Chain A
Amino acid sequence: MFLSLFVLSLAALAQERTVTGKVISSADKLGIPGVSVVEPGTTNGAVTDIDGKYSIMVKSTTTQLRFSGTGLVTQTLNIPASNSLDVTMSQDVQKIGEVVVTALGVKREEKSLGYSTQKVSGEELSDAKEANFINSLQGRVAGVSITGSSNLGGSSRILLRGLRSINFENQPLFVVDGIPMNNENVATLDQARGALGYDYGNAIQDINPDDIESINVLKGPSATALYGSRGSNGVIIITTKKGVAREKNEKYSPIGVTLNIGFGMKKIYNLPKYQNRYGGGASPDFIESDIHPGEYRSEFEYDGSWGPELLGQEVYQWDSYYPSMPNYNKKTPWVAHPDNVKDFFQTGIVKNNSIALDGGNEKSLFRLGYTNYDEKGVIPNERLNRNIISFNGSNKFTDRLSADITMNYVVSRGKGRAATGYNSIASNFNQWWERQLDIHELEDYKNPDGTQRAWNMNSEEDPSPLYWDNPYWVCYENYETDQRNRLYGGLNLNYDLGKGFSVIASGKTDYYDEFRQERVAVGSAIATAIPSYSENTLQFNENNYEIMLNYKHRISDAFDFNGFVGANRMDQKFSNKFIATQGGLKVPNFYSISNSQSSELIESSQVRQMRKNSVFASASVGYKSFLYLDVTGRNDWSSTLPEDNNSYFYPSVSGSFVFSELLDMSWLSYGKLRAGWALTAVDPPAYRSTATPALISDNFNGVPTSVLPGTFNNTTLKPEFTSGFETGLEAKFLNQRISMDVAYSSTLSKDVIFNVQQSSASGITYKIYNAAEISNKTVELMLNVIPVKLKNSFEWGVGFNWAKTKNMVEKLFTDENGNETESVQIGTAPFSATLQMYKGMEASQIVGYDFVYDDKGNKIVDADGFYKRTATVTPLGSVLPDYTGGVSTYVTFKGIRLGGLIDFQKGGKVYSLTNVWGRYSGIFAETAEGDIRENGLINEGVTETGEANTTVISAVDHYFQDGGYVITAADVYDASFVKLRELTLSYELPSSLFKKGIRGVSVGIYGRNLAILHKNAPNIDPESGLSTSNVQGFEGGQLPTARTFGINLNVRF
């Protein structure tokens, strides 16, 4: 079809002439790039280059050209006989409010909106790509807080203006070209709490940053009320790139080809500070050897570094017990290997290559893209590979009927992802390590007979691994593999009924299946896991069917009306099947379920299904394009609520007042006041409003067993409601050199559904109720300034955004006797900390034992010289930050663009197991400072009677008893940080360099996650995501942060 269209347009080529000229700005007389120059009534057009110059071939009969550009007053001018036409364009104050995509994909002028939205362009995300594109939003949008992880393709948790739910989803809805996308992060509880597991990441990372045209963030309930219950946490609307109709021009191909080649390298940094003075062992003395009588050996069975000082003593070490190793039966010097952890990590390689074809004419447009993202991780044998094919096209069948279609297919493969949390490689290095170990000696991790060479052996006689596998064995033998296939797309039919009415019918689908295989090889340290093989199959499908009737009417010169009514059905199905071998593997190195030692396999299966029907309507009235009023309403019927009470309605009303329209002040380009109120609702998860079922459990000696669940359902559940008010002021000054947006929002969520914990003595531990109240008050500030803008095209801009959210748990649960629940637990870190919601406190408190302080704030020390801890556990602070924000800056000059981004978080707490055990085990530098191991130390504090403490205690006892294992607060840290997130430098080559075929070339270099400029938590990166669940703030054994340097080449034909 496309081909025949081209043939037709070729026939139209008759006599032609070329018009050239330059477009300059009325403000600074500089050339304006990107202005579109069109032959009116045709699709023939050109775009001005970096200097504002253009050249267009037009029919000899054509007398006019139309010039238009974003934010500029469109002009249609006669072509002079000289065929040379220079144009001065001025900024269109009317059009300053750009068109933005709002709820349900409705495009609106920004000035007409009574709520805040914030747009991020695709280019900002694709300059320095991440495996999970969510991370690229860090620091760019006010009120959006993102917790990334150092895991390859790992989870990034995103919260818009705080959290509202205690047990359930708090992340926003993602909508790509109108398709609601699943962002589930199927992670085990142990993974989320930092115990052990693989971080497979959240599913939204399937979206390809190269395909993104723009992202629009709808933060508050007024903006998202039309999405119903699913929009209650905000909505992130992603618009992908579409095909562009191109002018017929002999210089270029009618089909645009965009080629992107990206290559990056990743290096770890931010390792903990280690001590290199003492080696492994429990005491300063070596152990008398059993098999070399009268001689000494290292204490390899002790996975800590309180051992003998590293003075080059000749002793038997782990490598002298393997006959196949060169040091067999030999003593070797006891010396430090300071870089033994650093040298384990390799340079990661990131390759991101894509090609996109696009084109079309006035009837049809299309874009076809293919991207390959390939990342070799910093851990040996670690790899992530993603192939993405995306297609979208639109066609106008008749004057009234048009259709568009989007299809995306993503195949994502992971291998050897590093396990996270306690018991992972990182926890081995930083929590339970012998500092003298030579990592290079461990690299050859297998004996010729296939058994493991482990440094942490059971005994001299039995050199099999005790608690820890050789880290290389973990990477190459106990690796996981995973694959996700995802297909998502939609079809929209648009019919113009006339008289301002149009109807859109659409069907959308999001489908994926995911297959995860995990292995533990025969010969591994069974202290961490027995040899096993498991398969986990996930399947997700959501279909949406929607019909919408739009009506647009200019009622009078003063009034505009815009409205629509519609209906939607959502069907969602999810299944999760897990099957694993039990009791070990029969044949080593063979990974199949049939290889299970026991024929009673470990199995579980979960199926989830839900449906939601909705009707919705929206009406907006504009008065003289400065006063706008919007009213929306939506009603949902949800299958997850009790049948007789499953309908709920939510309205919203918002308005804006563009006061700059009424004022005539040259310094004020634009000014708008906005305000909105809305009510949104959330339905409970599936199967929780029915009678409580029983649970089938494992057979006992072949006899069936069953139990009653510890968490009860509730047949009287109703939806939880969030009402929200927001207001804001937008202003642009001095020809938009300064623009600002201040927003305040306040929401109150009532009847929040959660599992209320009760005394287990009642027979159950949790029951689900509508009970809590959670409030959020957010202030957001965005400021963009262009301090320097010179005639020679030099421009320097600075952007700043900042948001403070106060996220309070107002109320938890009050029982029938008026007893109020003080707190509810939402997660348990391994060892001493828990995460809880406390009534009257900020949400998500880390809870544990604290130090005991006297009136003057001194820590109290007990009679033995150790710190006293509180008798009971107590809240130690919220994991949520006080405020977050970012500062971005750019400098442009003649096609060169230099950009930088710093983002920051103030406050929030993190409980760090790396610090708990890294100090307990005598690995970290502070455990060997001064001569504390020889002389002991005195805890700074006062005795119970108020005198200064003078009791000397041994260093090892101090780190055993005064650390976070005993006194939780000792390892709860302030998670504030300032990070140099990004630096980019790109150069758009002048188009004059290319003659034919090439429309443009740009090259860029970038750096991501370059440095932690400031932090208060020692030895770790305070940004320590493990999953996207509500269990946050636990650092269980973090991989070191990695920085990426890369280069991008972009060629457009």
Chain B
Amino acid sequence: MIQIKINHKAIAVVMVGSLLLGSCRKNFERINEDPNNPKEVPNSYLLTGAQRGIMDNTIDVWWGANVGNQLGQYWSSNQYTSESRYNYRTNVTNSAWQRFYSGASNDQQVNVGGLYELDQIIKKCTEEPDLSSVDGDVNNQIAVATMLKVWLFQNMTDTWGDIPYSEALQAEKIKSPKYDSQEDIYKGLMNDLNNALSLIDVAASGPNGDVVYNGDMTLWKKFGNSLKMRLALRTADKDAAASQAAFEAANTDGAFTSNSDNALLQYGTYPSGNPIYYNRYISGRNDYCASNIFLDSTLTPLNDPRRECFFAPASATGLWTGEVYGLSEANGAQTPNSRISQRSALTLSATLPGIYLDYAQVEFMLAEAVERGWNVGGTAQDHYNNGVTASIDFWTGLNGTTGDAAAYLAQPDVNYTTAPGDWKQKIGVQKWIALFDQGVQGWVEWRRLGFTKLQLPADGVLDGTGIPRRMKYPVLEQTLNSANYNAAVAAQGADEQDTRMWWDKP
């Protein structure tokens, strides 16, 4: 038999030792308390982060310069030109999708918010109204967060078509949200917007941390109505009656009436500057310049006073020369930057504001509504003139120059009565010019109104057959949300840039 003699001293030593070391587990929870990040933050911090985030990520070098400003053919690439020929890097689309939905770091590696943060404000106001009320009237907080959500969702559906909407942003419940049809999304967004507008109490306090309107709910109400007009007009060819009703209601309730109503994100100096400033001056990149389509074929022949706001003459020649849009890399590299008009000091400045929605657009929408026979008051020409004037005033105002809008409008090619083409062409071209720096919106108007300015890339399209009608979904969705992705592709059509989305279908 095996016999082991027990040594009592030994047992005692081990017992005491184990007790000393093995006990004190009570401290474990304290040790595992994250000392680096707070459990809760005020709603106002989330709002500021989201207002910055949704603008930063819309206008930065990846989405604003490579996608928006080139789809609108405002800018041209002088190197890495594949985007101007509609071949997009997969990471760009992946990260834009992520930045828009979940918020993420922006191009300067600053953590900024997105739809999820806006949604969390709404959730916290609904679930914990007492706690949330320190940051302003909870209904007004919900209204502002909702309107910003609608703004971004519309940009996104106008980019991709069908996207996750009704099941989106429920991180803990639904990991793979289904895609809704664009038609349903537009209905949903209109519904969200109406709810938000009905919640606004202009007498109560606006949200803290609002860096757009500083809590002025009257302006937010105007923003809501202006956005409602934009939503309504976009579906005008699909559901004319409903669109007209919504548009007229919004107009009656009160949209923007001057440039001072403009919804802008006022960027500041370093390090709160415009993302394009960072790209040019902090990262030292100079990959974009004026596109010949916008500068040589549009601004220069029309003697547009905004030309000097947007661009600068070529340094070597003093001439206003745009880069031929859509060159191959080899051809793009042939022309030194000194012989091409570069972006202006204004458009590269740290303090250039980001535009959510502006008064000029509202007037162009009203002009179109008149043409569509909707009951909004005024003539199409008045609204058209107001739109052009508002845009010139806005840009020359920012630039510290003066622009004679009246003289500009008096030119036969600009004058509403004599300008070439039908109302879609006339309004389209001027609205397109006025939508400079809101690239995706310029591209939307080309798809909606079909004005004839935009051209195929000079050295050919690399992906698809023409100017894209939509962007391809992010590649990551194919693996992370494959069933819903496949269902969306089956419903909407091939995941190609030539596929038309619901409101764009003839």
Do A and B come from the same complex?
Answer: yes
Chain A residues within CB distance 8 Å of chain B: 282-283, 287, 290, 299, 301-302, 306, 459-461, 466-467, 497-501, 503, 505, 525-528, 530, 545-547, 549, 551, 553, 555, 559, 561, 565-569, 582-583, 597-598, 600, 605-607, 609-611, 613-615, 637-640, 643, 646, 686-687, 689-691, 693-710, 712, 757-765, 767, 815, 819, 821-823, 825, 828, 831-832, 872-873, 954, 956-957, 960
The chain B residue sitting closest to A609, CB to CB, is B31
Given A697-B112, A872-B478, A873-B475: A763 and B168 within 8 A (CB)? yes
A569 CB → nearest B CB, Å: 4
B4 touches A553 (CB 8 A): yes
B91 touches A (CB below 8 Å): yes
A503 touches B10 (CB 8 A): yes
Complex interface: chain B residues within 8 A of A956 (CB): 330
Given A459-B338, A710-B103, A765-B102: A582 and B270 within 8 A (CB)? yes
Please pick, from B21, B49, B176, the residue contacting A547 in the complex, using a CB distance under 8 A: B21
Please pick, from A611, A705, A709, the residue contacting B28 in the complex, using a CB distance under 8 A: A611
Given A530-B282, A566-B14, A643-B29: A762 and B39 within 8 A (CB)? no
Complex interface: chain A residues within 8 A of B281 (CB): 526
Given A526-B284, A706-B46, A760-B102: A611 and B34 within 8 A (CB)? no
Please pick, from A704, A760, A763, the residue contacting B45 in the complex, using a CB distance under 8 A: A704
A549 touches B14 (CB 8 A): yes
The chain B residue sitting closest to A582, CB to CB, is B271
B316 touches A (CB below 8 Å): yes
User: How far is A302 from B176 in the complex, measured between Cα atoms in Å?
Assistant: 45
User: How far is A817 from B45 in the complex, measured between Cα atoms in Å?
Assistant: 35
Given A283-B334, A873-B90: A761 and B97 within 8 A (CB)? yes
User: How far is A459 from B336 in the complex, measured between Cα atoms in Å?
Assistant: 8
B309 CB → nearest A CB, Å: 23
Q: Which B residues from 392 to 413 make CB contacts under 8 A with A?
A: none
B156 CB → nearest A CB, Å: 10
Complex interface: chain B residues within 8 A of A500 (CB): 5, 7
User: How far is A712 from B17 in the complex, measured between Cα atoms in Å?
Assistant: 38
A700 touches B272 (CB 8 A): yes
Complex interface: chain A residues within 8 A of B10 (CB): 497, 501, 503, 549, 551
Complex interface: chain B residues within 8 A of A954 (CB): 330
Q: A566-B14, A611-B28, A708-B103 are in contact. List 7 more A-B contacts (CB 8 A).
A: A283-B334, A606-B36, A637-B22, A701-B266, A701-B272, A704-B209, A763-B102
A759 touches B175 (CB 8 A): yes
Please pick, from B110, B163, B271, the residue contacting A761 in the complex, using a CB distance under 8 A: B163
The chain A residue sitting closest to B34, CB to CB, is A687
Complex interface: chain B residues within 8 A of A960 (CB): 328-330
A499 CB → nearest B CB, Å: 5
B131 touches A (CB below 8 Å): no
User: How far is A283 from B332 in the complex, measured between Cα atoms in Å?
Assistant: 11
User: How far is A706 from B119 in the complex, measured between Cα atoms in Å?
Assistant: 14
Chain B residues within CB distance 8 Å of chain A: 2-5, 7, 9-10, 13-14, 17-18, 20-25, 27-29, 31-42, 44-46, 48-50, 52-53, 89-91, 97-98, 101-104, 110-113, 115-117, 119-120, 163-164, 168-172, 174-177, 209, 211, 266-268, 270-272, 281-285, 315-316, 328-330, 333-334, 336-338, 475-484
Complex interface: chain A residues within 8 A of B337 (CB): 301, 459
B240 CB → nearest A CB, Å: 31
29 A/B residue pairs, CB under 8 Å, sorted by A:
A283-B333, A301-B337, A466-B284, A498-B7, A500-B7, A530-B282, A551-B4, A555-B3, A559-B2, A561-B2, A613-B21, A615-B21, A637-B22, A694-B41, A698-B111, A698-B271, A701-B268, A704-B44, A712-B171, A761-B97, A761-B169, A762-B168, A763-B101, A763-B102, A763-B170, A765-B98, A765-B102, A823-B479, A828-B91
Complex interface: chain B residues within 8 A of A696 (CB): 37-38, 41, 45
A761 touches B270 (CB 8 A): no
User: How far is A505 from B17 in the complex, measured between Cα atoms in Å?
Assistant: 9
A610 touches B171 (CB 8 A): no
User: How far is A823 from B40 in the complex, measured between Cα atoms in Å?
Assistant: 32
A561 touches B175 (CB 8 A): no
A759 touches B38 (CB 8 A): no
A692 CB → nearest B CB, Å: 9
B333 touches A687 (CB 8 A): no
Top-3 shortest CB links A-B: A282-B333, A547-B17, A706-B45
Complex interface: chain A residues within 8 A of B209 (CB): 703-704
Complex interface: chain A residues within 8 A of B17 (CB): 505, 547, 566-567
Complex interface: chain A residues within 8 A of B172 (CB): 712
Given A700-B272, A832-B90: A705 and B112 within 8 A (CB)? yes
Please pick, from A526, A582, A819, the residue contacting B283 in the complex, using a CB distance under 8 A: A526
Complex interface: chain A residues within 8 A of B171 (CB): 712, 758, 762-764, 767
A690 touches B33 (CB 8 A): yes
Please pick, from A306, A499, A708, A709, the residue contacting B5 in the complex, using a CB distance under 8 A: A499
User: How far is A530 from B25 in the complex, measured between Cα atoms in Å?
Assistant: 48
User: How far is A566 from B20 in the complex, measured between Cα atoms in Å?
Assistant: 12
B481 touches A759 (CB 8 A): yes
User: How far is A637 from B18 in the complex, measured between Cα atoms in Å?
Assistant: 12
A165 CB → nearest B CB, Å: 20
Best-surrounded residue of A567, A700, A872 (most CB of chain B within 10 A) = A700
User: How far is A503 from B8 in the complex, measured between Cα atoms in Å?
Assistant: 12
B328 touches A598 (CB 8 A): no
A694 touches B38 (CB 8 A): yes
Given A694-B41, A701-B268, A832-B90: A547 and B330 within 8 A (CB)? no
Complex interface: chain B residues within 8 A of A703 (CB): 48, 209, 211
Complex interface: chain A residues within 8 A of B113 (CB): 705, 707-708
A758 touches B13 (CB 8 A): no
A549 touches B13 (CB 8 A): yes
Complex interface: chain B residues within 8 A of A598 (CB): 270-271
The chain B residue sitting closest to A637, CB to CB, is B25
A193 CB → nearest B CB, Å: 12
User: How far is A954 from B331 in the complex, measured between Cα atoms in Å?
Assistant: 12
B329 touches A757 (CB 8 A): no
User: How far is A528 from B283 in the complex, measured between Cα atoms in Å?
Assistant: 7
A567 touches B330 (CB 8 A): no
B338 touches A290 (CB 8 A): yes
Best-surrounded residue of A299, A498, A582, A765 (most CB of chain B within 10 A) = A765
Given A637-B28, A758-B176, A956-B330: A707 and B103 within 8 A (CB)? yes
B271 touches A708 (CB 8 A): no
Complex interface: chain A residues within 8 A of B89 (CB): 831-832
User: How far is A708 from B121 in the complex, measured between Cα atoms in Å?
Assistant: 11
User: How far is A700 from B2 in the complex, measured between Cα atoms in Å?
Assistant: 75
Given A547-B17, A565-B14, A610-B31: A707 and B479 within 8 A (CB)? no
Complex interface: chain B residues within 8 A of A615 (CB): 18, 21-22
A875 CB → nearest B CB, Å: 11
Complex interface: chain A residues within 8 A of B48 (CB): 700, 703-705
The chain B residue sitting closest to A573, CB to CB, is B31
Complex interface: chain A residues within 8 A of B330 (CB): 282-283, 306, 954, 956-957, 960
Complex interface: chain A residues within 8 A of B476 (CB): 757, 759-760, 825
Complex interface: chain A residues within 8 A of B336 (CB): 287, 299, 301, 459
B32 touches A689 (CB 8 A): yes
Best-surrounded residue of A761, A828, A831 (most CB of chain B within 10 A) = A761
B122 CB → nearest A CB, Å: 12
Given A555-B3, A828-B91: A762 and B176 within 8 A (CB)? yes
Best-surrounded residue of B41, B91, B175, B477 (most CB of chain A within 10 A) = B175
A209 CB → nearest B CB, Å: 34
B36 touches A697 (CB 8 A): no
A700 touches B38 (CB 8 A): no
Complex interface: chain B residues within 8 A of A758 (CB): 171, 175-176, 480
Complex interface: chain B residues within 8 A of A691 (CB): 39
User: How far is A794 from B171 in the complex, measured between Cα atoms in Å?
Assistant: 72
Complex interface: chain A residues within 8 A of B483 (CB): 819
Complex interface: chain A residues within 8 A of B104 (CB): 710, 765
User: How far is A872 from B91 in the complex, measured between Cα atoms in Å?
Assistant: 13
